[in-house]
Amino acid sequence: MVLSCLLGLSHAKCDFKAIFNFGDSNSDTGGFFAAFPAESGPFGMTYFNKPAGRASDGRLIVDFLAQAFGLPFLSPYLQSIGSNFRHGANYATLASTVLLPNTSLFVTGISPFSLAIQLNQMKQFKTKVEEIHQQGTSSCDCTSEAKTPSPDIFGKSLYTFYIGQNDFTSNLASVGIGGVKKYLPQVVSQITSTIKELYNLGGLTFMVLNLAPVGCYPSFLVQLPHNGSDLDDFGCMVSYNNAVVDYNNMLKDALKQTRKTLPKASIIYVDNYKVLLELFHHPTSHGLKYGTKACCGYGGGDYNFNPKLYCGNTKVINGSTVTATACDDPYNYVSWDGIHATEAANKLITYAILNGSYSDPPFPLHKHCDLQPIG
């Protein structure tokens, strides 16, 4: 398998003038921490040299996509200071679900900004953009107009989805795989109905990343029940990854059916699972060293993850004050904190997305944009 990207080809311009992203912590560029300010180091240590609202040491897939398109990083929709929405907006927030949560953030940690809320925010955004430009510069706030796109942007944008992991994992410990499978069809249905609504708003190109192999995540390997016979040759939980594959196949089939009802739309399914599984199984083949071991954590060992002490936190354990610190070489790891990918892994995933080899139908982005190198 080659995780590489075709860059530097000569095209006049990029078909996509903006990106609108819907998701959870895997693609949140600061929305959650705009609403609930609390992020601390060592998050952001690799690229931003400070916490930057991202659940990683550096850039996310959506950041690398923006860079490849020659666009600035997406401003979170919820960020009131310093945002610029001329090239899109990011509605993702950490701990978001596709389905409406039936609990509170302060009880279980699930974000109130589910996919339905994110869609409503997008609708409001479009309405506000149209209002500002209808008023004209003589009567509107010109500062606001300068930071919002033109109303024709919505048909020239890429709409990205990286969400569903929390629907899958948040109840695994309590109801098991069988219980989770019962409501996964609702998750898929909500995603496809959201695409249809965005299509009605003018969207034409949609990219949906499937679920990652959570059976390889250090946090789940530590917390979820399993036995040695459930582990594959690389230390990942077979039963949990098989359940993810079942969901991903369901999502792929649903997107295929949705294409038939939206003939003018491009709906791309991205096999993020396959790329990440390859990285977890064979990290050294792609310039990394560690698969199922977290860079930032506490406890050392095979996983370096302790559910009592999350990355960057300090607390008293067994009478001693300890801190979950980061490794010195996150560029050698697939997993940043036991739950999220490192910048290094996110870059490799983005390469696979850009060359189109993990997309169904194939969608090589270099044919739509004069891609910029991502350093």
DSSP 154: G
DSSP 72: P
Cis peptide upstream of residue 361 (ω within 30 degrees of 0): yes
Catalytic residue, candidates 25, 75, 96, 359: 25
Tens digit of pLDDT for each residue in 314-353?
999 999 999 999 999 999 999 999 999 999 999 999 999 9
The domain defined by 18-288+353-367 folds into Rossmann fold (3.40.50)
- 331 and 344 in contact (C-beta within 8 Å)? yes
The region of weakest confidence among 7-21, 30-44, 130-144 is 130-144
- 219 and 305 in contact (C-beta within 8 Å)? yes
C-alpha 348/C-alpha 367 separation (Å) is: 19
Q: What is the band of 174 on the pLDDT scale with cuts at 50, 70, 90? A: confident
In this structure, the number of other CB atoms found within 10 A of the CB of residue 31 comes to 30
Q: Is the model's pLDDT at 10 over the cut of 60?
A: no
Per the annotation, the verdict on 25 as an active-site residue is yes
Is the overall model pTM greater than 0.75, yes or no? yes
Tens digit of pLDDT for each residue in 28-85?
999 999 999 999 999 999 999 999 999 999 999 999 999 999 999 999 999 999 999 9
For residues 163-179, average pLDDT:
91
Q: What is the DSSP string of 307-345?
A: TTB-TT-EEEETTEEEE-BPPS-GGGEEESSSSSB-HHH
Q: What is the pLDDT of residue 136?
A: 72
Q: What is the DSSP string of 217-282?
A: -HHHHHHS---GGGB-TTS-BHHHHHHHHHHHHHHHHHHHHHHHH-TT-EEEEE-HHHHHHHHHH-
Tens digit of pLDDT for each residue in 248-289?
999 999 999 999 999 999 999 999 999 999 999 999 999 999
The residue ranking higher by pLDDT, 136 or 313, is 313
- 149 and 87 in contact (C-beta within 8 Å)? yes
Per the annotation, the verdict on 340 as an active-site residue is yes
Round the average pLDDT of the chain to a whole number and report it: 93
Q: Is the model's pLDDT at 6 over the cut of 80?
A: no
CA distances from 138 to 128, 130, 132, 135, 149 (A): 17, 15, 11, 8, 18
C-alpha 1/C-alpha 365 separation (Å) is: 19
Per the annotation, the verdict on 337 as an active-site residue is yes
Q: What is the band of 293 on the pLDDT scale with cuts at 50, 70, 90? A: very high
Q: Kindly state the helix (H) or strand (E) to which residue 1 belongs, with its residue range.
A: none
3-state secondary structure of 350: helix
3-state secondary structure of 100: coil
Tens digit of pLDDT for each residue in 97-117?
999 998 888 788 899 999 999
Catalytic residue, candidates 340, 357, 359, 368: 340
